[in-house]
Amino acid sequence: MITRRTFVLTAAALLTAACASTTTAPRDESTGSYTQPPLPANATLVPTNSPIPPAAAEQDCGDVTASLSPNGTTQGQAINAIRARGRLLVGLDPGSNLFSFRDPISGTLQGFDVDIAGEIARDLFGDPQRVEYRILGQAERERALQQHAVDVVIETMTINCERKRQVAFSAPYFMAHQRILAAKNSGINGLADLAGKRVCMVQGTTSLDFIRRAQPKAEILTAPTWADCLVILQQRQAEAASTDNAILAGLVAQDPYYTELVGPDLTDEPYGVGIPQGEDDMVRFVNGTLARIRADGTWNRLYTHWLQPVLGPSSGPPQPEYDG
Ligand code: GLU
């Protein structure tokens, strides 16, 4: 028989357990099972009092996407070193469906960014397969270039003034726009609705900086990759995620029943190939490849194959501006 005292104690214990179960999955030690799914490894809540980064857009570096003209460059110190090695070292993130992801059948990396890397290798070696990948988290992109751990980073990387102080960029090869991903019928329709909601983000991205400035009342949970954010959403451990429409469209393609893109375009995100600073020959060479794929129909073919099914027809590749 349950006495009144037992009932009160049990209710208090249940309440304490409920209060404790916020970020880490509570584990029932007697059965060894989780009462909630665990968060992916290295997912962390950003303390609400941590400093908000300054707006990169406010920093002026002239025409941010201007790059060096190809000028027919086929030789140079950096280019020759890559040719001598026989492979192009490419930094990318394998958790970005449609840009760089592992094909479940073949196990190989595929996607729009992977194919851009292949086109650069085709022009360097006459063989698009002469590529070696280095897996980089978003926050590791600039450092990997500065340390010459990779020749190029092709990882949905937005060209901005802050990054241009650390690395060089090709001309833009894709224009994305930040948007919001939410569960269907969640009632989230834009930035204002993210106040007080938990939003999954990836460290080292322009997306995270933007959300922290534009909606300081959102509770931010960071995860290692955007693919982790999809799992976190599916496990109901966050209510939204926000990054480039092209990346989010890749997540929706993985779960069209539960997730949808909501609200308007929030930013412009021109993607560039990241290159170590000072390697002007390589910047010109990559811009030569980008000029070729715009002209010979390759860019359109890649867009049609990877992105048109989720983003609709494109108005064509971004046009380059050369400043040297
Ligand atoms: N394109 C943005 C950036 O370079 C955000 C998305 C991402 O690359 O993961 O930070």
Which residues face 293 on adjacent strands? none
Boundary-marking domain end, from 268, 288, 319: 268
Are residue 130 and residue 261 in the same domain, yes or no?
A: no
**In the predicted structure, residue 314 carries a pLDDT above the cut 70:** yes
User: Is the four-CA dihedral 60, 65, 69, 74 of positive or negative sign?
Assistant: positive
Are residue 166 and residue 219 in the same domain, yes or no?
A: no
Are residue 285 and residue 254 in the same domain, yes or no?
A: no
- Compute, in angstroms, the gap from residue 20 CA to the centroid of ligand 1: 33
Structure confidence by residue, pLDDT tens digits, 7-61: 333 343 333 333 333 445 555 666 666 556 777 777 888 777 777 766 655 567 8
Are residue 166 and residue 274 in the same domain, yes or no?
A: yes
Q: Is ligand 1 within 6 A of the CB of residue 142?
A: no
H/E element holding 4?
A: helix 4-20
pLDDT at 4: 45
Are residue 124 and residue 79 in the same domain, yes or no?
A: yes
Structure confidence by residue, pLDDT tens digits, 246-282: 999 999 999 999 999 999 999 999 999 999 999 999 9
Nearest to 44 by CA among 278, 240, 232: 232
Are residue 235 and residue 91 in the same domain, yes or no?
A: no
- Compute, in angstroms, the gap from residue 243 CA to the centroid of ligand 1: 7
According to DSSP, residue 242 is labeled E
Q: Is ligand 1 within 6 A of the CB of residue 138?
A: yes
**In the predicted structure, residue 191 carries a pLDDT above the cut 50:** yes
8 within domain boundaries: no
Q: Which atom of ligand 1 is nearest to the CA of 93?
A: 9
Are residue 71 and residue 198 in the same domain, yes or no?
A: no
Are residue 282 and residue 135 in the same domain, yes or no?
A: yes
5 within domain boundaries: no
Q: Which atom of ligand 1 is nearest to the CA of 207?
A: 5
pLDDT at 46: 79
Are residue 169 and residue 69 in the same domain, yes or no?
A: yes
229 within domain boundaries: yes
Q: Is ligand 1 within 6 A of the CB of residue 170?
A: no
**Mean predicted confidence (pLDDT) in 144-172:** 97
Q: Is ligand 1 within 6 A of the CB of residue 100?
A: no
318 within domain boundaries: no
pLDDT at 68: 98
Q: Is ligand 1 within 6 A of the CB of residue 160?
A: no
Residue that wins the pLDDT comparison between 144 and 2 = 144
User: Domain range holding 240?
Assistant: 36-47+177-268
The total domain count for the chain is 2
- DSSP of 272-321: --EE-TT-HHHHHHHHHHHHHHHHSSHHHHHIIIIIHHHH-----PPPP-
- DSSP of 81-118: HHHHHTSEEEEE-TEETTTEEE-TTT--EESHHHHHHH
108 within domain boundaries: yes
- Compute, in angstroms, the gap from residue 31 CA to the centroid of ligand 1: 41
Are residue 212 and residue 87 in the same domain, yes or no?
A: no
Are residue 140 and residue 282 in the same domain, yes or no?
A: yes
112 within domain boundaries: yes
Q: Is ligand 1 within 6 A of the CB of residue 222?
A: no
Q: Is ligand 1 within 6 A of the CB of residue 207?
A: yes
pLDDT at 57: 52
Structure confidence by residue, pLDDT tens digits, 98-153: 999 999 899 999 999 999 999 999 999 999 999 999 999 999 999 999 999 999 99
Q: Is ligand 1 within 6 A of the CB of residue 244?
A: yes
Beta carbons within 8 Å of 27's beta carbon, 6+ residues apart: 33, 34, 35
pLDDT at 16: 37
CATH of the domain at 223: 3.40.190.10
25 in Cβ contact with 39 (< 8 Å)? yes
Percent of the chain scored above 70 by pLDDT?
Answer: 86
Nearest to 199 by CA among 176, 175, 183: 183
pTM of this structure: 0.88
23 within domain boundaries: no
Q: Is ligand 1 within 6 A of the CB of residue 158?
A: yes
- Compute, in angstroms, the gap from residue 161 CA to the centroid of ligand 1: 14
Nearest to 109 by CA among 127, 96, 126, 124: 96
54 within domain boundaries: no
Instruction: Work out the mean pLDDT of the chain and round it to a whole number.
Output: 89
Are residue 161 and residue 106 in the same domain, yes or no?
A: yes
- Compute, in angstroms, the gap from residue 109 CA to the centroid of ligand 1: 19
User: How far is the C-alpha of 92 from the C-alpha of 232, rounded, in Å?
Assistant: 22
**In the predicted structure, residue 192 carries a pLDDT above the cut 70:** yes
